[in-house]
Amino acid sequence: MTSSSSTSSAPEHLVLPTMTDVPQTPEGSPIDDSTVDVMLVPMAGNSGEEHLVALAFSTVPRLVEAMGEQQPWVVILTSELEGALRGSGAQSILLDPRLAPGSE
């Protein structure tokens, strides 16, 4: 899995939008080890083939700015992200994506 940011500059935690509300600790981490349906989007790779990308944000305000206040989310340690996404189909991570103008 690849990321749009280098490991040395990656934040300690990432905020991942989810498809449904997930029971969380006060810090935003999932309460138990149950499956969390994170948001995956198809993107075209450099060679034109499509692959799935996991959306991730460096802060909750950035997620809210891009996706709105009603978007459910969880906080995942960056060091645990690859394991958390294993089996999801995500081939890379898109950090702090922004909506295209006029797409709201």
Per-residue pLDDT of the chain (104 residues; tens, 9 = 90+): 554 444 457 689 999 999 988 888 888 888 776 678 899 999 998 888 999 999 999 999 999 999 999 999 999 999 999 988 998 999 999 999 987 666 55
Largest CA distance in the chain: 42
Strands 13-17 and 73-77: antiparallel
Which candidate, 80, 68, 73, 66, places its Cα nearest to that of 13?
A: 80
Q: Are 75 and 13 in contact (CB under 8 A)?
A: yes
